[in-house]
Amino acid sequence: MKRRHIYLIAKKEIAGLSSEKTIVFAILLQVFIAMFSSFLMVGLTAMYDPEAIEGYSTVTYRVGYAGAESPLIDEFGERDDLILYRMDLGAALAALRERMVSAVVYVPQTPPDAEGPITVTLYLIQNDLQSGVVNVKIKEVLQGYEEQLRETRADRLIYSPVELNFPDSGGGESFFEFVYGLLIPLLVFLPAIVSAALIIDLITEEYQRQTLETLLSTPIMFTEVIWGKIAACEVLVPVQAGAWLILLWLNGIPVDNATAILLHVSTSGLVLILLGALVALHYRERTSAQFIFSTALVVALLFVMAVPYNPLNLVVRLAVDSIGPIHWYVLALVAAATALLGWAITHYARRVGEKTP
């Protein structure tokens, strides 16, 4: 194989990509994903920390209270964002239906030190964002009441958990795990997946458009064609991933160990690209190749994620700088697998190339 031939093919493919503006779509795609991550962020915050959604509201909510007297009234009294009204249950529910109150609480006549539980009924409006916010506010009130009741009944408890004293936290750090534990690995590995899909198109296109014969009539060998295409796809991986890291940094999300991360992404990306090339060489027809490859990709990703110290996890750990030199061993392992795959591709391509006239 001549390096110059490989270089020529790679250059041709990259020129094709930029002239077709497909790369623009690739970038748009990734920007779009980054954009809706801000959307996911709120969803995830709600999952990690429903209290965070409370911050979206500064309104005072009215709550109807029905049933027996209880210390719960005092708990409500301590909140300045909730106003409690003593009401008849029927009237309170009617008011709730007309949205004159945001929630209704019904407290039964059970004494605080009773044998059984106290079952408070909480009425909320269905299908409503406001209910979510009120829900969170009332939750805090009810937790305070629960605390009181637990103290009243403390002498009936026998186990004592390990006590931990927490410092006063600033709170609201729910984004950290999302950004570093999910968004960053997603963003840096996306170019690898995109490139793997790309190699399939590049190879099958030669077959389906019957342009391969023309290409092979030049002094370039089939293996060189394949490796040229692989090189073109591989180059895009660190470039795009690096661009992401810079963009993240500009957005105030510093990422540690950028070089190591790029090495990991490029190596894993090469594995995916080689797998894609193998599938494409085997099927030579885009529909089948893409179908098999994308199904296999799901299987492979799921498997890899289930293994400790997988490359995605290593990227997370590298990004937050909580890993020792161990990731170099994994990198060496992945690189060895890549070399093996590369050898297999060369061998396979040579055999295919000999058969192709």
Provide the b/e sequence for 147-177 (b: ≥16 CB within 10 Å): ebbeeeeeeeeeeeeeeeeeeeeeeeebbee
Query: Smallest gap, in angstroms, from Cβ of residue 231 to another protein?
Result: 16
- Asked whether position 343 contacts another protein by CB under 8 A, the answer is no
Rounded alpha-carbon distances, angstroms, from residue 160 to 143, 150, 156, 164: 19, 13, 12, 12
Q: Least distance (Å) from another protein to the CB of residue 350?
A: 22
* AA identity, residue 55: G
| One residue of 79, 286, 330, 348 binding another protein per CB under 8 A | 286
By CB under 8 A, how many residues form the interface with another protein?
147
In the bound state with another protein, the residue whose beta carbon lies nearer, of 96 and 187, is 96
Task: State the minimum distance, in angstroms, from the CB of residue 194 to another protein.
Answer: 8
C-beta of 43 vs 77, nearer to another protein: 43
By rule CB under 8 A, what string of x and - marks binding of each residue 125-154 to another protein? xxxxxxxx--xx-xx--xx-xx--xx-xxx
CB closer to another protein out of 21 and 355:
21
Instruction: Find, among 1, 10, 27, 18, the residue nearest to 230 by Cα.
Output: 10
C-beta closer to another protein: residue 7 or 85? 85
Q: Is 183 in the site for another protein (CB under 8 A)?
A: no
Of residues 209, 302, 314, 306, the one with CA closest to residue 261: 314
Name residues whose C-beta falls within 8 Å of residue 194's C-beta, 6 or more positions apart in sequence.
26, 29, 30, 236, 240
Q: Is 196 helix (H, G, I), strand (E, B) or coil?
A: helix
The site string for another protein over 158-177 (x = CB under 8 A, - otherwise) reads: xx-xxxxxxx-xxx-xx-xx
Q: Are the beta carbons of 90 and 123 closer than 8 angstroms?
A: no
Could you say whether residue 80 binds another protein (CB under 8 A)?
no
DSSP states of 312-340 as a string? HHHHHHHHTT---THHHHHHHHHHHHHHH
344 binds another protein (CB under 8 A): no
Per-residue tokens: 261: 């991360």
Question: Among candidates 297, 331, 295, which has minimal Cα distance to 313?
Answer: 331
Q: How far apart are CA 302 and CA 330, in angstroms?
A: 18
Binding residues among 205-244 for another protein as defined by CB under 8 A: 205, 208-210
Spatial distance between the Cα atoms of 24 and 32, rounded to a whole number of angstroms? 12
- Considering only residues 37-56, where is the footprint of another protein by CB under 8 A? 38-39, 42-43, 46-47, 49-50, 53, 56
Compute the radius of gyration of the chain from its Cα atoms.
Answer: 30
Q: Which listed range, 3-11, 291-299, 330-338, 345-353, lies at the site for another protein (CB under 8 A)?
A: 291-299
Q: How far is the CB of 54 from another protein (least distance, A)?
A: 10
Residue from 180, 160, 172 nearest 254 by CA: 180
Among 9, 10, 82, 95, binds another protein (CB under 8 A): 95
Residue located via tokens 């186990």: 159
3-state secondary structure of 82: strand
Binding characters for another protein, 311-330, by CB under 8 A (x = yes): -xx--xx--x-xx-------
- The residue from 2, 4, 11, 97 that contacts another protein (CB under 8 A) is 97
Q: Which of 9, 183, 194, 271 binds another protein (CB under 8 A)?
A: 194
Q: Does 342 bind another protein (CB under 8 A)?
A: no
81 binds another protein (CB under 8 A): no
Q: Which stretch binds another protein (CB under 8 A): 29-37, 218-226, 259-267, 339-347?
A: 29-37
Q: Map the footprint of another protein across residues 248-277, applying CB under 8 A.
A: none
**59 is a site residue for another protein (CB under 8 A):** yes
For the bound state, the minimum distance from the C-beta of residue 165 to another protein, rounded and expressed in Å, comes to 5
Please state whether beta strands 61-67 and 103-107 pair in parallel, antiparallel, or not at all (unpaired). parallel
